[in-house]
Structure 1
């Protein structure tokens, strides 16, 4: 278990990193939308945006760092199924929020990577639309913030 003061400081850092990652994801979507594109149903031809690519890379990096810090924060040890059923409600909520933190981070990272890769090409491309992937990934950074904070609170409360 991490010292309470250090844990709180790291929690604030995770909050700030997730907020900045979310903002970068939304700004990357805005930069992508400023480029020329022709859209027909699910197919789209567009010019890549280097600005959207850079902002997407930044959002990915910050989400990864925030996720690693949030998971190292309390050192939650995996439990067997029997231990989980016998655990207190606080411990069960902590494990549930840890699970959701992993799921949200995985989906958010996937969306950000898809949106970023769509802007990596050096010339215009046509294919399936990657519309709103960057902004959805950015929004999931904010959701990651909520579950990471909830994880910290429940893990800290169940430890005492």
Structure 2
């Protein structure tokens, strides 16, 4: 008896992305609680270990959610633009959401890692203000969840079409 776990996969991916987004925003809040000294454009601040842990957790959850959805969704690729134009609408949607999810993953993961690395130093650091990296990365985790679930749904629909 074959069971359909698609709904469960979608729920797991959404929950992981939402938790990653919340952790990213909480990391930003923890980072803002640390005292800093502002001098024009330069900001000197102590690193926040709590922000480091939350940012790292958010990064790991984001990457794990992406890997689960794309591994279980399979690879829906086209070899040329002509093949893309002749493809079914589900395949075209899968390709579009595949590209969008990778773009959002790249930006969100980069933002979370930059914010996390800013809090990993063992001493006070001074540099150009880098506020909002963690919160922007957290917000992009929510968007990543939407694109990734849309990819998974359209990829499984494409595979079902091809089996018929």
* TM-score of the two chains, using structure 2 as the length reference: 0.90
Taking only aligned residues, the RMSD between alpha carbons, in angstroms, comes to 1.4
Match in the other structure for 1:43: 42
* Contact 1:7/1:73, CA 8 A, preserved across alignment: no
Residue 130 of structure 2 aligns to a residue whose secondary structure is: coil
Q: CA deviation at 1:76?
A: 2.1
1:93 aligned partner: 93
String of CA shifts for 1:50-108, please: whole Å, max 9, x gaps.
00000000000000100001111221232211321210122101110010000000100
1:114-147 deviations in Å (ceiling 9; x for gaps)? 0000000111110021100000000010000110
Stretches of structure 1 that go unaligned for 5 or more consecutive residues are none
Match in the other structure for 1:59: 58
Secondary structure at the counterpart of residue 80 of structure 1: coil
The structure-2 alpha-carbon separation of the partners of 1:87 and 1:41, relative to structure 1 and needing over 3 Å to count, comes to farther
User: Equivalents in 2 of 1:63, 1:42: separation in Å?
Assistant: 31
C-alpha distance in 1 between matches for 2:3 and 2:55: 33
> TM (normalized to structure 1)?
0.93
Q: Which whole-Å CA distance do the structure 1 matches of 2:84 and 2:125 have between them?
A: 49
Alignment of 1:157 with 2:141, yes or no, is no
**2:59, 2:113 within 8 Å by CA — same for their partners in 1?**
yes
Distance 1:4 1:102 in 2: 29
Q: Distance in 2 between matches of 1:79 and 1:124?
A: 49
